[in-house]
Structures are given as structure tokens and as C-alpha cells.
A and B are shown apart, each in its own frame.
Chain A
């Protein structure tokens, strides 16, 4: 392979190794750019979050968008997840005579893992993309510039309300998802596994502790922070018109989802070491 330059055909061959190295280099640069931009944005948030003026109305608006409007999606997904888990565990464990452990296992799995992770993934899809596309559109239509030119701060008006709303809404959505997921599991246990509701509730309560709920919610606080700040950063960095907005949206959903899955492992490990009984 040869490279076409302004001077004509260069004799320096462009080998697949060059292409590979360039691709790796460019990805590394993008990653560093993201890490730097994300950190700077966090610093700006830290500087401005406690300074006047405050915009409680914008936070309430965002809680409605991020939280209230996600309840249906989260509820349906949690109901389906809880039901399917009960069904799978029920049929799987019945082979070993362990059907009666289903309430304990399902409740613990939902509270510690499935509730927080599924809810966060849904929110990353729905809200992460929503924030990135909204802020990105504002950027390409100069509305972000207008906020600054009018003597106000995009961090205060755009980023902080979305961050605070996500930090409030996501743990609450997770709590709702936890209860609905367990309710779904209970319905399946009653209908398909011949486990009555009293037994299900008693065993679930026996297995669960407050720390299971709290650690699950603590995970979602980390996820909410990452999803909202990443989406805002990418939105504010958007360039290239409508195509740029589309690219930003996709990037946020992919990056947030990967972050949720990877950080969930480390957070779980951290909780196992520090909080859960050994």
C-alpha cells in the first residue's frame, strides 16, 4: 500500500500495522480527551453547584423528565425481569429440590444486582440519549452560546439540574424497580411454582437486609453521576450539525452502558469486601 500525498505518490508504504497503530492512537486520544473533559466538567460542577443563583424549578422539571416519565418503562422491565428470574430459578432449582429457595435468591439478586443495573441501563438508554441529543442540539443551534452571551452559566442551567435530578431520580426508580421486580417474582411463584405469597414474603424478608437495598441504591448514585455528566459533556462537545447530534447520542448510550457493566463488577466487589457478610 502507498500513501497519496500533496507531492504525489509517496514511496513510504502504509502497512496494516500503521493503520492499526493510527487507529489505536486516535482511540487513545479520544479516551484521554473524554477523561480530561469529564474531569474538568466535574471541577466546574463542584465550583458552581453551591454558588448562587440556584434553579430549583429546572431541577423539578428534570426530575419529571428523568424520573416520572421513566416509571412506566422501568416498571414493565422490572416486572418482566422478576417474573422471568423466578420462572428460570424455579424450573432450574426444582430439579435439585431447591424450589423453596427461589424467593430468597430472586429477592437478593433483584435488590443487589438486577434492579440497580437494569434500571441504570434503561436510564442510560432513555435519559443519557435524551440529554445528549437535547444539549447537543442546543450546542449546534448556538443556544449554549446564547446562555453564556446572556451572562448565565450553561453548567448551572443545563448540567447541574440534570445531574441533581438524575442523582435523585435513579435511586428512587431503582427502589420502584426492586419492589415491582419482587412482586413479579411473587406472582410467578404463586401461579407456576406453587409457593404461596406469605411464604414468599417471609423468606424474602428473612434473606434481605437493609444494606442490600442501600448498596443497590448506592450503585445507582454512581451510575446516575456518570450517565448525566457524560451525556452533558458529550452534548456540550457536539459539533457537526444533526449528524454530530446523532453520533453524540449513540456514543453516550454505548459508553454509559459499558461503564455501568464494568463498574458494577468493581462496586459489587467493593461491597463484598466492606459491607456484605463474608
Chain B
């Protein structure tokens, strides 16, 4: 019997995004689709606007033009109050963790749960502990962010972004500035989460990490997504642009 392949659902559809900062045009028609259940690695040189794409998706930046369709809604131009619902379904892992430094690790992780769920203190505590276990930070509940190493801060930031079980996770250079041991640990954490079927965009300069995590790779160059393909095809690609990124990483 012939098997009919199920069409993959689109989790996020970015259409023709334009964004300028003053005279500098950062995006000149960025378009791509994020499929459900995949992690899309997003490469690009410094200052090419990779993080701006993520910030636009979560509504922290307002594109000049274009559409970002999530859950049948165009995020571009939504008011802050309407963005709240979107932001509970899209997690954002900041480059430096962006933990609230006046709150403990436990309070940081509990923050989204207290704001957006009606869970009891006991249930919140249980969920926080489970998440801390998942990121190898069991027992760090009462530490403040300044008592954590850089790697731990990033992992705690990852846990906070994940705790509401969002549909899409945006990783903004999560391995930047980490030593190899911490990078591996963070990647292992993400791989564990990947087993649960998360969908996400992984912005990075760290090509080997992206190859390890991503299902597909997109390359942002001169304000547009120039290449988007599976990780395997990207590795084999003879495209000079792709090669320049891959070889740049190997040097």
C-alpha cells in the first residue's frame, strides 16, 4: 500500500520582512517558514540582523513591513496587550540569560507560572524542581543570578523560557561565550528538550553546535535568507556562500 506523506504543519511563517535602523537597512525582504517539530539554525555575520528576526517574532522589535504569521495571527503590528497571548506561546532564550537579578533561580523560573497559570505554590515548586533537574541544576533554587556561572545563567534562562511549554522557542546565541564543557552541557539540555518535540529557531555563530542541534539551516546574508536547506544538504553544499560560513567556522 502506498503511504501518503502527511504535509508538515507550519509553526511560523515569516513573510517579506523589512527593517531599518536609521539609514541602515537590516532586513530587505526576509522570508522563511519554521515547520512544526523542527529546529531551524539561523546563520549570518555579525550585525546582519539575526537577533532582530527573533526580537520581531516575539514583538520586541517592530518590522517596517512584512508579516509574521503564528497561530493564524499576524504578529506584526499587534498591541502589547494582544502580544501577551503570543508571548506565552513563544519562549525566548536570551543571549546572556537575562535572569531577573533581584530574584532567586526558583523565583525566576516560577515567574511565568505565577503570571500566566493558576497553579498552586506546591505545583509551581514541583514544576520548577523538575525543570531544574532537566537542566542539571538541581538544588540551585535559592541561588541568585550573580552566584551562578555564565553557563548556569544561560541554562536557567533556557529553563525559564521553557517552563510554560511554549509552542516555539527562540534561542538567541545560547552558546556564545561558553567554554566547550558548558557548551556541550547546554546542547545536551537542548537535545533533551528536543526529544519532547520542541520547535525552535537557533540563532548562532557556532556552526558545529548548530549542526548538532538543527534539522535545517538558514543563512541570512545581505538582508535576506539566501539559503535554507536540511543540515545534511548544507554540509554537502558547494554553494560559495555556504562554504564561506562552514569553512569560516572550521578555521
Interface size on A, residues (CB 8 A): 13
A30 to B100, CA, bound (A): 30
Stretch with Cβ within 8 A of A (4 or more), from B108-116, B188-196, B218-226: B108-116
User: Known contacts A151-B112, A152-B115; is A146 also within 8 Å of B100 by CB?
Assistant: yes
Q: Which of A139-163 contact B (CB under 8 A)?
A: 141-143, 145-153
Q: Does any Cβ of B come within 8 Å of A53's Cβ?
A: yes
B113 to A: closest C-beta gap in Å = 10
CB neighbours of A147 from chain B (8 A): 100
Q: Does any Cβ of A come within 8 Å of B101's Cβ?
A: yes
Q: Residue among A145, A149, A152 with the most chain B CB within 10 A?
A: A149
B96 to A: closest C-beta gap in Å = 7
Q: Does any Cβ of A come within 8 Å of B92's Cβ?
A: yes
User: Known contacts A151-B84, A151-B88, A153-B80; is A145 also within 8 Å of B60 by CB?
Assistant: yes
A142 to B55, CA, bound (A): 12
CB neighbours of B59 from chain A (8 A): 148
Q: Residue among B55, B87, B98 with the most chain A CB within 10 A?
A: B98
Which residue of chain B has its CB nearest to the CB of A144? B98
Q: Does any Cβ of A come within 8 Å of B94's Cβ?
A: yes
Q: Are B112 and A150 in contact (CB under 8 A)?
A: yes
Interface string of B216-238 (1 = CB under 8 A from A): 00000000000000000000000
User: Known contacts A142-B94, A143-B98; is A149 also within 8 Å of B87 by CB?
Assistant: yes
Q: Are B100 and A143 in contact (CB under 8 A)?
A: yes
Q: Which of B83, B92, B100, B115 contacts A53 (CB 8 A)?
A: B115
Which residue of chain A has its CB nearest to the CB of B61? A145
CB neighbours of B83 from chain A (8 A): 148, 151
Q: Which of B103-156 contact A (CB under 8 A)?
A: 111-112, 115-116
A65 to B115, CA, bound (A): 24
Q: Are A150 and B94 in contact (CB under 8 A)?
A: no
Which residue of chain A has its CB nearest to the CB of B160? A150
CB neighbours of B115 from chain A (8 A): 53, 150-152
Q: Are A145 and B94 in contact (CB under 8 A)?
A: yes
CB neighbours of B92 from chain A (8 A): 146, 149
Q: Residue among B80, B112, B116, B160 with the most chain A CB within 10 A?
A: B80
Q: Are A148 and B60 in contact (CB under 8 A)?
A: yes
A163 to B: closest C-beta gap in Å = 18
A152 to B58, CA, bound (A): 12
Q: Are A146 and B84 in contact (CB under 8 A)?
A: no
Q: Which of B39-60 contact A (CB under 8 A)?
A: 55, 58-60
Q: Which of A31-63 contact B (CB under 8 A)?
A: 53
Q: Are B96 and A150 in contact (CB under 8 A)?
A: no
B98 to A: closest C-beta gap in Å = 4
A66 to B53, CA, bound (A): 39
A252 to B45, CA, bound (A): 38
CB neighbours of B101 from chain A (8 A): 141, 143
Q: Which of A53, A145, A152, A153 contacts B98 (CB 8 A)?
A: A145
B120 to A: closest C-beta gap in Å = 17
Q: Which of B80, B88, B94, B116 contacts A146 (CB 8 A)?
A: B94
CB neighbours of B55 from chain A (8 A): 145
Q: Are A150 and B60 in contact (CB under 8 A)?
A: no
A70 to B: closest C-beta gap in Å = 19
Q: Are B96 and A141 in contact (CB under 8 A)?
A: yes
Q: Which of B80, B85, B87 contacts A150 (CB 8 A)?
A: B87
Q: Are B87 and A146 in contact (CB under 8 A)?
A: no
A148 to B55, CA, bound (A): 11
A48 to B: closest C-beta gap in Å = 9
On B, residues with C-beta under 8 Å from A are 55, 58-60, 80, 83-85, 87-88, 92, 94-96, 98-101, 111-112, 115-116, 160
On A, residues with C-beta under 8 Å from B are 53, 141-143, 145-153
List 11 additional A-B contacts (Cβ < 8 Å) besides A141-B98, A143-B101, A149-B92.
A141-B101, A142-B95, A146-B98, A147-B100, A149-B58, A149-B60, A150-B115, A150-B160, A151-B84, A151-B87, A151-B116
Pick 25 A–B contacts, CB within 8 A, sort by A.
A53-B115, A141-B96, A141-B101, A142-B96, A142-B98, A143-B99, A143-B100, A145-B55, A145-B98, A146-B94, A146-B98, A146-B99, A146-B100, A147-B100, A148-B59, A148-B83, A149-B92, A150-B87, A150-B112, A151-B83, A151-B84, A151-B85, A151-B116, A152-B84, A152-B115
